[in-house]
């Protein structure tokens, strides 16, 4: 399973470290060496100036009267470790008692990297958060229960913003019985997951009076309830009243709700009324930010140059990454990608029928580079909306995970470079069903097509259960398109190419003048083919030359019984496309959903396409429209007439003979345009209310 960088702890802070060596200087002072294990490899403290890294003592120590100052720091990034020499000092009787029970193995604090790149500099950043909520309506930032009780101050000369949070009246002291619980607390500190915050609150007593620091004691004060979901807060020592020193438990970690307590020692006759805080942002993917708030990312998401450049940083063909900010996209490096050692899916049994088969399928799913990203979305570790870049389209076994409600709330788009790691540019039937499902839950899917140098977006046909990948600047043409299909042989190109070109020139003129639902100034003309060579190449090439949207439904025609020279290659004139594997040949034909088929000379494939178009009309899947047969009547008479007449003679098409009047043989563009003009002006005799044709088709004059 690939390493899940999104499940790591916050990158500004480490886990708690434990004491590995202890030296008791006096009853009020202890020196210790703390070792911190399992630090994230991307902990920013490994790369910034060590002077910006602070030891943050566990809140339990600070609340009981013990402070901890980091004296020396040793970083071991290759081992994901750090060691800190810390001086513990007690400021009251409770603290002295706690130091008596300090032993090796006790977890006592962590490191915080005050990375200046993540410091909040402008008040607008905080003001924006004050009005924002997450998907469930929970506030991202509340600095007090009273409206605007805090004071937000921009310190331009220091290039930062601080907030002064008002303190509740009075202060807090401990009941004397807390001393008897110190041994239990010390023992509990051997467990890094143990929390004493609520336990200590039970023993704290509120007193009215001025908030002064007692001599040889500790001042405990509290703020109102705060919410800090997407920020770290740190006490700013230089903003405290003169003589006030805060314990090194001075970091508030992101949490949904906190009524924080603050601990002061020192010597001062002044009273404190506010807590000055500065703020540091989380990793972007945990900021609960909405996609619409990321202007740069929105600008980049359909910028081919930016997207292609980003994909060029992928370290392998089995990589994925998650992007929530535009600057991430434009500065992407290979280290930002998750790589997987993906096993083959050749031996997978779906659905699994045994425990081993299920284990194999689970292993296959978990090995995907996308899996840790989607799983982190599902688990709430990723809370910002963003986009996934993947070197290949997600495998259908990931469907359940990617369509999870929490994932679709967070995931706005998927970009991929290759449809399939096994079959290259060709989608399976399950892939196409997956594409439809993603579109229906508003997850955009883009094909970063390096072969054609196009950024293509998956678009569902209106009122159709199929879609295609469309250049981002032609989406409206596709949605408003009237589809003319060009069917014919891959082995020949007709001699009347200019006639075909003139036909579409005429249609472009006609659509400006007519007011038919399928041909009017608001519609666009689209040419759709099978995407191969020969006549298909001609159709797509004409489309490009005339500025008409050019579509191709390409099939992987790799057949073991054919010479390599016979293999069908996708023609270079396609803009819009969908691809199919050979076993989905019939399904592929059903997804053409043409408005107006045009047939040329062809073999078995063209014969099949003709019969399928007639079948669609016969059973009512498609209204009767003119189906053009381009070429000599003699050719089409040899093709169609015997089949039509034997079916009619034997009665196998009884009641459906009329479909013959939908076929029109044309030999030039003028005749073809005449047929279309009569149809679009409701003057063409075709359909079940008109008689059949003895030849099986109409010879248009």
pLDDT digit string, tens, across residues 593-643: 899 999 999 999 999 999 999 999 998 888 999 999 999 999 999 999 999
Is a pLDDT exceeding 90 seen at residue 96? yes
Q: Where does the pLDDT of residue 84 fall: very low under 50, low under 70, confident under 90, or very high at 90 and above? A: very high
pLDDT, averaged across the chain: 92
pLDDT at 9: 79
Interval 54-76 mean pLDDT: 96
Alpha carbon distance, N-terminus to C-terminus of the chain = 68
CA pair distance 694, 658, nearest whole angstrom = 10
Q: Where does the pLDDT of residue 337 fall: very low under 50, low under 70, confident under 90, or very high at 90 and above? A: very high
Q: Where does the pLDDT of residue 242 fall: very low under 50, low under 70, confident under 90, or very high at 90 and above? A: very high
| 43-59 per-residue burial string, b: 16 or more CB within 10 A, e: under 16 | bbbbebeeeebbbbbbb
- Degrees, nearest 5: CA angle 297-579-455: 25
CA pair distance 463, 15, nearest whole angstrom = 54
Tokens for 99, please give them.
């130091």
* C-alpha 335 chain-centroid distance: 18
Lowest-confidence region among 236-240, 260-264, 349-353, 606-610: 349-353
Lowest-confidence region among 21-35, 213-227, 523-537: 213-227
Is a pLDDT exceeding 80 seen at residue 258? no
Q: Across-strand partners of 22?
A: 32
Domains of the chain, earliest start first? 5-117 (2.40.30), 119-170+208-282 (2.70.40), 285-460 (3.40.140), 481-551+575-701 (3.40.50.450)
pLDDT at 442: 94
CA pair distance 90, 67, nearest whole angstrom = 6
Is a pLDDT exceeding 60 seen at residue 566? no
Interval 504-511 mean pLDDT: 96
Q: Where does the pLDDT of residue 646 fall: very low under 50, low under 70, confident under 90, or very high at 90 and above? A: very high
Is a pLDDT exceeding 70 seen at residue 345? no
Is a pLDDT exceeding 80 seen at residue 551? yes
Q: Where does the pLDDT of residue 560 fall: very low under 50, low under 70, confident under 90, or very high at 90 and above? A: low
Q: Where does the pLDDT of residue 341 fall: very low under 50, low under 70, confident under 90, or very high at 90 and above? A: confident
Residue indicated by tokens 């592929």:
588
Q: CB within 8 A of 13, min separation 6: which ones? A: 43, 56, 110, 111, 112, 113, 232, 251, 253
Cβ–Cβ < 8 Å for 221, 264: yes
Which of helix, strand or coil describes residue 333? Answer: coil
pLDDT at 565: 47
Helix axes of 497-513 and 535-546: crossing angle, nearest 10 degrees: 40
Phi, psi at 287, each rounded to 5° = -90, 0
CA pair distance 324, 284, nearest whole angstrom = 7
pLDDT digit string, tens, across residues 287-314: 888 888 888 899 999 999 999 999 999 9
pLDDT at 259: 67
């Amino acid at each position: 399973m690939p390493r899940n960088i999104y499940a790591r702890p916050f990158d500004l802070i480490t886990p708690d470290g434990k004491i590995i060596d202890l030296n008791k200087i006096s009853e009020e002072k202890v020196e210790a060496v703390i070792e911190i294990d399992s630090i994230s490899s991307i902990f920013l403290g490994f790369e910034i100036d060590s002077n910006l890294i602070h030891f943050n003592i566990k809140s339990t120590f600070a609340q009981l009267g013990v402070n901890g100052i980091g004296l020396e720091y040793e970083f071991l990034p290759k081992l994901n470790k750090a060691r800190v020499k810390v001086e513990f000092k007690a400021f009251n009787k409770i603290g002295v008692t706690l130091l008596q029970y300090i032993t090796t193995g006790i977890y006592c604090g962590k490191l915080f990297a005050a990375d200046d790149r993540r410091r909040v500099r402008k008040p607008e950043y905080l003001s924006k958060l004050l009005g924002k909520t997450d998907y469930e309506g929970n506030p991202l930032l509340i600095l007090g229960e009273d409206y605007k009780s805090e004071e937000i101050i921009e310190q331009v000369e220091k290039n930062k913003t601080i907030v002064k949070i008002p303190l509740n009246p009075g202060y807090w002291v401990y009941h004397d019985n807390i001393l008897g619980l110190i041994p239990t607390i010390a023992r509990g500190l051997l467990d890094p997951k143990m929390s004493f915050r609520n336990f200590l609150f039970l023993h704290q007593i509120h007193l009215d009076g001025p908030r002064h620091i007692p001599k040889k004691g500790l001042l405990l004060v509290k703020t109102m309830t705060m919410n800090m979901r997407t920020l770290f807060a740190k006490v700013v020592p230089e903003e405290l009243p003169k003589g006030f020193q805060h314990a090194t438990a001075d970091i508030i970690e992101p949490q949904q709700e906190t009524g924080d307590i603050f601990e002061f020692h020192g010597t001062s006759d002044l009273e404190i009324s506010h807590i000055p805080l500065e703020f540091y942002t989380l990793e972007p993917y945990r900021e609960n930010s909405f996609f619409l708030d990321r202007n740069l990312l929105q600008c980049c998401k359909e910028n081919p140059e930016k997207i292609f450049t980003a994909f060029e940083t992928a370290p392998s063909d089995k990589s994925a990454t998650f992007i929530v900010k535009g600057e991430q996209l434009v500065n992407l490096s290979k280290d930002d990608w998750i790589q997987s050692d993906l096993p083959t899916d050749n031996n997978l049994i779906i659905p699994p029928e045994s425990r081993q088969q299920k284990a194999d399928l689970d292993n296959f799913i978990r090995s995907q580079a996308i899996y840790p990203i989607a799983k982190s979305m599902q688990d709430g570790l990723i809370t910002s909306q963003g986009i996934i870049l993947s070197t290949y389209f997600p495998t259908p076994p990931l469907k359940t995970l990617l369509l999870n409600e929490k994932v679709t709330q967070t995931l706005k788009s998927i970009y991929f470079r290759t449809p399939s790691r096994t079959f290259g540019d060709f989608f399976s039937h399950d892939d196409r069903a997956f594409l439809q499902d993603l579109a229906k839950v508003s997850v955009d899917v883009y094909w970063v097509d390096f072969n054609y140098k196009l950024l293509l977006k998956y678009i569902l046909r209106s009122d159709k259960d199929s879609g295609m990948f469309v250049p981002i600047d032609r989406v409206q043409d596709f949605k408003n398109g009237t589809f003319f299909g060009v069917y014919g042989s891959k082995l020949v190109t007709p001699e009347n190419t200019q006639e075909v070109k003139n036909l579409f020139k005429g249609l472009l003129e006609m659509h400006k003048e007519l007011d038919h639902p399928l041909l009017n100034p608001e519609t666009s003309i689209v040419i759709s083919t099978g995407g191969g060579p020969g006549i298909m190449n001609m159709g797509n090439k004409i489309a490009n030359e005339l500025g008409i949207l050019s579509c191709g439904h390409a099939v992987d025609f790799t057949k073991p019984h054919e010479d390599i020279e016979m293999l069908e290659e996708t023609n270079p004139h396609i803009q819009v496309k969908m691809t199919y594997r050979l076993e989905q040949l019939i399904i592929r034909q059903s997804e053409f959903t043409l408005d107006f088929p045009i047939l040329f000379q062809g073999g078995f494939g063209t014969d099949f396409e003709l019969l399928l178009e007639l079948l669609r009309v016969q059973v009512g899947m498609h209204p009767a429209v003119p189906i053009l047969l381009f070429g000599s009547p003699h050719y089409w008479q040899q093709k169609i007439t015997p089949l039509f007449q034997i079916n009619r003679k034997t009665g196998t098409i009884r009641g459906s003979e009329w479909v013959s009047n939908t076929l029109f043989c044309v030999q030039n563009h003028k005749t073809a345009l005449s047929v279309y003009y009569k149809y679009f002006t409701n003057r063409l005799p075709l359909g079940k209310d008109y008689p059949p044709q003895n030849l099986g088709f109409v010879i248009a004059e």
